[in-house]
């Protein structure tokens, strides 16, 4: 076990916080509620960005950039949207500071008050649809498929590294379409992109679903989501995709002329995933020794640690290892040969385990003589001695195996902790133990609210693949057509 790292069983949230800090992913900043993403954490984000961006491009999207500031009047235009975000907005009121006449330091120059306040974007629908108004005239201008990578600010009272901070990084896709059907298909397509990314890259099984009206994005007609289970049995929303109908087109007067020469409002979607996915990755796979990274997102996939006594030994190990490093690189594997003389091998083993490096190769003098290498995998913590010959192929296969294994493990965990519940007593008992509860819901906001008040559990989603099944609401006893997923959530 890592030195002094709290265990998941002892204190799950402290375990999480410590992993984030000790693995060098992020730390709290001097600015309240904001985080500093450190190089190792940012490297994971860069890998996520790369993979997602490729998927966005493959589905026909292009990147652009819109301003950080949203004039208050823009935000106001779509009423529900405005209401939903109003209570968490940072507002710019002035554009200048000046020397404090009463002493040292600076004060806000009262003479430099902005005519109209600017909101630091909590999301960009308003700015973007205000822009789209000028870009869209004809059906020939559609669909408009644009994404941007940026930061946003949502003034949170209580923050946690990666999971909830006042400022965070994300991507937001904003598309405009000529027909309702096309927009709905886009929202569903992007949800599937997210689900694929979560499952195949993060190794995180997700439930695809739609939100209840209560949980919907402010201004959306339908919110699709992917929900994942963390190791403490709580749910975490890993991505959302919205069908916005014509709400924003109407608010910003975005009309186009269709093939019949008639004016119509454009149909919209928006979709986003955030740096929160890094939190999901940590909480889904890591163990009491530290981080466990899926090979596809690991900044370092393979670390090679030389084990030696004298500088001469190190030299001969380095000589033997050099071609292997080259071969691994040639095979597209990111590898680090850690010949740093400042730290001992035992220290390095522990350190790379804490950092979640999927595969570690240990090479010592004994290996040199025997033509072997010690192969250690992070996900199972198992070690074996293998012939140096053919090691690159072996590692390549091993990375795939680890990627598959951590997904399998997470899926098995979710299945073991998902319960079909049909009585209210059972519901209350189970929710205390954690996990997902699949239960009947009568479709009313009243019941949803009552369940939340009594148990802190919310409806995470109505699964897209939910089979029609007549039943009785677990709380109210009223008629229900299908089961939904209840859980306590992050």
**Interacting residue ranges for RNA, rule: CB under 7 A:** 2-3, 5, 13, 17, 28, 32, 87-88, 154, 156-160, 163-166, 168, 215, 217, 237, 240, 274-276, 289-290, 307-310, 344-347, 349-351, 353-354, 362-368, 374, 376, 381, 383, 456, 489-490
**Token output for 284:** 């889904």
* End-to-end alpha carbon distance in the chain: 27
Query: Between 154 and 296, whose beta carbon lies closer to RNA?
Result: 154
CB 74 within 8 A of CB 130: yes
Query: Between 143 and 364, whose beta carbon lies closer to RNA?
Result: 364
Query: Between 82 and 178, whose beta carbon lies closer to RNA?
Result: 82
In the numeric block, the tokens 């590294």 are attached to 161
CB 263 within 8 A of CB 320: no
Query: Between 18 and 264, whose beta carbon lies closer to RNA?
Result: 18
Query: Between 2 and 485, whose beta carbon lies closer to RNA?
Result: 2
The helix/strand/coil state of 458 is strand
Query: In this structure, what is the dihedral angle of CA atoms 74, 77, 81, 83, given to the nearest 10 degrees?
Result: 100
Query: Between 30 and 467, whose beta carbon lies closer to RNA?
Result: 30
**Token output for 164:** 């909830």
CB 176 within 8 A of CB 132: yes
- In 3D space, the residue among 481, 422, 489 whose CA is nearest the CA of residue 461 turns out to be 489
Cis peptide before 370 (omega within 30 of 0): no
Burial of 31 (0-12, 13-18, 19+ CB in 10 A): exposed
Helix axes 391-416 and 311-330, enclosed angle (nearest 10):
70
Question: What are all long-range contacts of 376-383, with beta carbons under 8 Å and residues at least 24 apart?
Answer: 376/349, 377/402, 378/292, 378/293, 378/352, 378/353, 378/402, 379/285, 379/292, 379/405, 379/406, 379/409, 380/405, 381/289, 381/353
Shortest Cβ distance from residue 369 to RNA (Å)?
8
Query: Between 194 and 256, whose beta carbon lies closer to RNA?
Result: 194
Query: Between 163 and 431, whose beta carbon lies closer to RNA?
Result: 163
Shortest Cβ distance from residue 37 to RNA (Å)?
12
Estimate to the nearest angstrom the gap between the alpha carbon of 209 and the chain centroid: 17
Shortest Cβ distance from residue 376 to RNA (Å)?
5
| C-alpha span between 16 and 234 (Å, rounded) | 13
Shortest Cβ distance from residue 264 to RNA (Å)?
29
Shortest Cβ distance from residue 43 to RNA (Å)?
19
Shortest Cβ distance from residue 354 to RNA (Å)?
5
Shortest Cβ distance from residue 36 to RNA (Å)?
12
Shortest Cβ distance from residue 293 to RNA (Å)?
16
């Amino acid at each position: 076990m890592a030195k002094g790292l709290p265990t998941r069983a002892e204190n799950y949230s402290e375990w999480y916080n410590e992993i984030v800090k000790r693995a060098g992913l992020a730390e709290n900043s001097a600015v309240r509620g904001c985080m500093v993403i450190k190089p190792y954490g940012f490297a994971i984000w860069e890998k996520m960005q790369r993979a997602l961006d490729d998927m966005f491009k493959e589905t026909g999207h292009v990147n652009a950039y819109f301003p950080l500031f949203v004039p208050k009047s823009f935000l106001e235009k779509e009423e529900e949207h405005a209401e939903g975000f109003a209570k968490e907005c940072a507002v710019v009121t002035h554009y200048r500071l000046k020397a404090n006449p009463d002493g040292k330091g600076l004060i806000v120059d009262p003479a430099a008050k902005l005519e109209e306040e600017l909101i630091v974007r909590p999301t960009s629908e308003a700015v973007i649809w205000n822009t789209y108004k000028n870009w869209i005239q004809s059906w020939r201008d559609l669909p408009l498929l644009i994404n941007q990578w940026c930061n946003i600010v949502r003034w949170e009272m209580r923050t946690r590294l990666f999971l909830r901070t006042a400022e965070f990084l994300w991507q937001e896709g904003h598309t405009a379409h000529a027909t309702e059907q096309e927009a709905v298909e886009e929202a569903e397509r992007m949800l599937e992109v997210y689900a694929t990314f979560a499952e195949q890259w993060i190794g995180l099984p997700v439930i695809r679903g739609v939100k209840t009206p209560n949980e919907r994005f402010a201004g959306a007609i339908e919110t699709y989501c992917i929900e994942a289970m963390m190791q403490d049995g709580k749910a975490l929303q890993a991505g959302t995709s919205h069908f916005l109908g014509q709400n924003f087109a109407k608010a910003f007067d975005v009309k186009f002329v269709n093939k019949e020469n008639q004016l119509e409002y454009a149909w919209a979607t928006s979709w986003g995933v955030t740096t929160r996915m890094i939190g999901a990755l940590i909480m889904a796979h890591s163990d009491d020794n530290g981080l466990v990274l899926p090979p596809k997102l690991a900044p370092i996939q393979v670390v090679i640690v030389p084990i030696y006594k004298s500088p001469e030994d190190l030299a001969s190990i380095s000589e033997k290892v050099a071609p292997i490093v080259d071969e691994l690189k040639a095979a597209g594997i990111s590898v680090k040969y850690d010949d740093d003389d400042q730290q001992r091998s035992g220290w390095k083993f522990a350190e790379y385990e804490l950092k979640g490096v999927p595969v570690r190769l240990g090479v010592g003098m004994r290996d040199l003589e025997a033509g072997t290498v010690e192969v250690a995998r992070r996900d199972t913590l198992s070690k074996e001695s293998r012939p140096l010959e053919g090691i690159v192929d072996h590692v390549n296969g091993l990375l795939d195996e680890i990627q598959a294994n951590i997904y399998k493990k997470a899926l098995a965990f979710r299945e073991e902790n998902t319960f079909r519940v049909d009585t209210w007593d059972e519901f209350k008992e189970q929710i205390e133990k954690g996990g997902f509860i699949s239960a009947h819901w009568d479709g009313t906001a009243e019941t949803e609210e009552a369940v939340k008040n009594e148990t802190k559990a919310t409806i995470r989603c109505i699964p897209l693949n939910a089979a029609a099944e007549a039943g009785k609401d677990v709380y109210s006893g009223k008629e229900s057509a299908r089961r939904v997923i209840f859980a306590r959530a992050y």
